[in-house]
């Protein structure tokens, strides 16, 4: 083992000390959600949907319009799971979506992830704890990996901060993607330590974290992250050294069989099995390339800003295009120290760069990916997480090993100065901003992205201008200041100030992206739901909604049954029945005005109430479809057997570790 790498006891003590640093940073992001009467989830988003608004031309500014899956999918799932648990039942399914939407076997519900448990225990108040724990865990996880890889204490802290505040970690903080993501470095640290010294404890850690990330709830992140880390460790330690950690990891994955086997059964029966490869990105992701350096150049969907994504085609939303962001200054530090960094970090950067190239969906590359087993099902943008993982790992040590390269530093400083000018220009030249705003509105109208009369957008112009000014200041001027501070600090030989600038750049990027809102802002029960409750107090009928009026799964919150489940794991049989009613499985929407034949198809599925912008329409001759029972998923018994085998295998791998290899 490298003598520069501290032993396990030292690292464990260090983890308890640096936890306070990451906890302080986590509070910076989540503190608002801990305030009385607040929740760290954008549950106000439905207020801007047709079922909640007075008219189509009315616009309601919401906290973050891009995080709609939280109030329309994740929160309803949590609510139903809590109802079942408090009623003494296990949360096998959501009875109020389709013919019974899976909960336990659905990885996106994340019921087995420890990051979901605060929400199940505390309800809406648990969202703050969930994100807080993710930020702390992500920092500790990467700190551990950096220390095992040989980074100094201060460098490992910076690596932890960069990883847990990266674009991928923050924009998906409320989602199950990061249940897995924040623990990947811990799995890598355990496997790297076991490859160097395969002790019983190290192998037990490998199996434990393999089980934990398998239960995390996002198969794509799990697959991409584990493959990348095992390649990294094999490249560093050699194939022979990685065999025993690989066995321990496999055993850990098997222990999650109780969840993974029922999930596999669901996939085999689902519509996604046929449709997924055709729905994934197939265009070059140019916006993601630019966002590697400047993620806010098109603004963001936050209420205080303006989002200009629609001006660029093909569109990539803020979350998709920022998945590989670790800050320009982190990349500059890596460039300044690349020659002097230890080989292990450079090897990680090679693997990370390959992931970034895959994420950009370049011609030829994406075609090859679509014919590879398993890989063909993966959304290409998730491959960027490999870059975040290894760039964060390398950037910490790089910050303390930078060489003076004046041309690069001068270029960064000049770019920062130009950014400050551009960021202040909308405030300094309001007439120019006004002309640009009107020109942009006209362009969006002509391209079909805006559908209201010009007078509607003229009324909203003041809010557009205010959002543009703040967007320019936050997304251009403030990062520009960080760029200048970094360049000048490095040129003057300062050691700590460059690290402060690097972390500040990420804080400016992500602070407030997951908004804390007041309880009074949470979307109330819409009129359509109240109408259906009055007309059907026994709740024996199903409802449906014209596309976009009352989104699928929203009705679960009020224990009304919607015929459309908002879930890619919907069975092929149920999807075919919905398609006969005009359902589009790509958008999860039913037609605004169903034909008589489509009405009949809905009635056969048990739908009596159809919600439109005009109100609630009652369909005649609807069949009574009994409420599904809360039954366990198919494959559960086999999954239990696999989990037992995995546990026994893990015990065997640990117990048979040769004594002469144990430290």
Residue 82's CB: how many other CB atoms inside 10 A?
Answer: 17
Which tokens in the block code for residue 159?
Answer: 């690596």
CA dihedral over 355, 357, 362, 363, signed as positive or negative? negative
pLDDT at site 663 = 43
DSSP letter (8 states) at residue 475? I
> CA-to-CA distance for 158 and 147, rounded, in angstroms?
11
Beta-bridged to residue 618, according to DSSP, are 609
Q: How buried is residue 86: exposed, middle or buried, by Cβ count under 10 Å (0-12/13-18/19+)?
A: exposed
Q: What are the C-alpha distances in Å from 338 to residues 187, 201, 406?
A: 26, 34, 15
pTM: predicted TM-score of the whole model, two decimal places? 0.93
Residue ranges, the chain, pLDDT below 70 = 1-9, 56, 273-281, 445, 448-460, 660-663
- Alpha helix locations (H) across 429-568? 430-446, 454-459, 461-472, 478-491, 497-510, 527-535
Q: Are 253 and 649 in contact (CB under 8 A)?
A: no
Q: Are 231 and 192 in contact (CB under 8 A)?
A: no
How many Å from the N-terminal Cα to the C-terminal Cα in the chain?
11
- What are the φ and ψ backbone dihedral angles of 559, each rounded to 5 degrees? 55, 45
Which tokens in the block code for residue 309?
Answer: 């994504």
pLDDT at site 275 = 65
- What are the φ and ψ backbone dihedral angles of 172, each rounded to 5 degrees? -105, 20
Which tokens in the block code for residue 645?
Answer: 């085998």
Find, among 158, 141, 19, 20, the residue nearest to 502 by Cα: 158
> CA-to-CA distance for 144 and 190, rounded, in angstroms?
9
Q: What are the C-alpha distances in Å from 622 to residues 143, 542, 603, 611?
A: 59, 9, 4, 15
> CA-to-CA distance for 249 and 245, rounded, in angstroms?
6
Which tokens in the block code for residue 242?
Answer: 């990685």
Q: Are 480 and 420 in contact (CB under 8 A)?
A: yes
Q: Is 287 helix (H, G, I), strand (E, B) or coil?
A: helix
Token pair 């090679």 in the structure block, residue: 350
DSSP letter (8 states) at residue 449? S
Q: Are 328 and 294 in contact (CB under 8 A)?
A: yes
> CA-to-CA distance for 197 and 6, rounded, in angstroms?
13
Token pair 């019921």 in the structure block, residue: 111
Which tokens in the block code for residue 280?
Answer: 């994934």
Residue 502's CB: how many other CB atoms inside 10 A?
Answer: 27
**CA quadruple 215, 562, 584, 272: dihedral, nearest 10:** 20
List of residues 6+ apart from 537 with CB closer than 8 A: none
DSSP letter (8 states) at residue 622? P
pLDDT at site 14 = 82
Find, among 88, 91, 160, the residue nearest to 119 by Cα: 91
Biggest CA–CA distance in the chain, Å, is 80
- What are the φ and ψ backbone dihedral angles of 544, each rounded to 5 degrees? -150, 170
Distance of CA 41 to the CA centre of its chain: 14
Helix (H) / strand (E) containing 222: helix 219-237
> CA-to-CA distance for 459 and 470, rounded, in angstroms?
19
Q: Is 649 helix (H, G, I), strand (E, B) or coil?
A: helix
Q: Are 154 and 208 in contact (CB under 8 A)?
A: no
> CA-to-CA distance for 151 and 250, rounded, in angstroms?
28
Which tokens in the block code for residue 130?
Answer: 């969930």
Which tokens in the block code for residue 505?
Answer: 């750049």
């Amino acid at each position: 083992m490298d003598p520069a790498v501290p032993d396990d006891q030292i690292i464990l003590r260090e983890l308890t000390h640096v936890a306070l640093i990451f906890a302080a940073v986590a509070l910076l992001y989540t503190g608002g959600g801990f305030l009385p009467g607040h929740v760290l989830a954008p549950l106000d988003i439905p207020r801007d949907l047709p079922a909640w608004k007075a008219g189509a031309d009315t616009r309601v500014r919401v906290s973050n319009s891009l995080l709609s899956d939280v109030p329309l999918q994740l929160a309803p799932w949590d609510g139903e799971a809590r109802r079942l648990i408090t009623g003494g039942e296990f949360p096998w399914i959501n009875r109020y979506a389709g013919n019974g939407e899976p909960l336990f076997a659905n990885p996106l519900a994340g019921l087995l992830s420890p990051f979901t448990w605060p929400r199940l225990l505390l309800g809406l108040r648990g969202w703050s704890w969930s994100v807080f724990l993710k930020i702390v865990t992500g920092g500790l996880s990467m700190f551990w990996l950096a220390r095992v890889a040989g980074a100094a204490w201060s460098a490992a802290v910076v690596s932890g901060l960069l990883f847990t505040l990266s674009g991928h970690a923050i924009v998906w903080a409320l989602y199950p993607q990061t249940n897995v993501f924040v623990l990947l470095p811990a799995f890598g640290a355990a496997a790297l330590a076991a490859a160097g010294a395969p002790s019983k404890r190290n192998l037990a850690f490998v199996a434990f974290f393999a089980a934990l990330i398998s239960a995390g709830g996002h198969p794509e992140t799990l697959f991409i992250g584990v493959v990348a880390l095992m390649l990294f460790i094999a490249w560093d330690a050699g194939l022979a050294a990685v065999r025993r950690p690989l066995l321990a990891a496999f055993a850990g994955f098997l222990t999650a069989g109780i969840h993974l086997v029922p999930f596999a059964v669901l996939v085999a029966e689902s519509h996604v099995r046929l449709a997924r490869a055709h729905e994934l990105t197939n265009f070059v992701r140019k916006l993601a390339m630019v966002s590697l350096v400047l993620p806010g150049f098109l603004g963001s969907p936050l209420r205080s800003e303006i989002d200009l994504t629609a001006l660029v085609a093909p569109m990539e939303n803020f979350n998709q295009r920022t998945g590989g962001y670790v800050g320009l200054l982190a990349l500059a530090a890596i460039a300044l120290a690349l020659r002097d960094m230890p080989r292990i970090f450079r090897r990680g950067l090679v693997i990370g760069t390959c992931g970034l190239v895959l994420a950009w969906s370049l011609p030829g590359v994406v075609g090859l990916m679509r014919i590879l087993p398993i890989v063909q099902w993966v959304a290409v943008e998730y491959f960027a997480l490999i870059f975040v993982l290894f760039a964060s790992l390398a950037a910490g040590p790089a910050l303390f090993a930078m060489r003076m390269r004046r041309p690069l530093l001068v270029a960064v400083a000049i770019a920062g100065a130009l950014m400050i000018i551009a960021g202040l220009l909308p405030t300094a030249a309001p007439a120019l901003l006004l002309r640009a705003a009107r020109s942009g509105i006209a362009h969006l109208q002509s391209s079909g992205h805006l559908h209201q009369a010009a007078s509607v957008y003229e009324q909203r112009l003041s809010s557009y201008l205010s959002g543009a000014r703040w967007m320019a200041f936050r997304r251009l001027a403030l990062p520009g200041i960080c760029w200048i501070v970094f360049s000048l600090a490095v040129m003057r030989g300062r050691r700590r100030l460059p690290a402060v600038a690097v972390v500040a750049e990420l804080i400016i990027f992500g602070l407030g992206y997951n908004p804390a809102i007041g309880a009074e802002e949470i979307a109330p029960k819409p009129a359509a739901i109240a109408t259906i409750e009055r007309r059907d107090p026994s709740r024996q009928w199903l409802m449906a909604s014209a596309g976009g009026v009352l989104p699928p799964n929203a009705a679960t919150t009020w224990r009304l049954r919607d015929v459309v489940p908002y879930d890619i794991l919907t069975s092929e049989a149920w999807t075919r029945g919905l398609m006969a009613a005009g359902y589009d499985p790509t958008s999860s929407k039913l037609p605004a005005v169903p034909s008589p034949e489509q009405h009949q198809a809905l009635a056969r599925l048990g739908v009596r109430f159809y919600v439109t912008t005009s109100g609630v329409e009652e369909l005649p001759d609807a069949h009574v479809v009994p409420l599904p029972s809360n039954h366990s998923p198919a494959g559960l018994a086999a999954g239990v057997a696999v989990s037992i085998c995995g546990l026994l295998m893990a015990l065997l791998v640990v117990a048979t570790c040769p004594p002469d290899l144990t430290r």
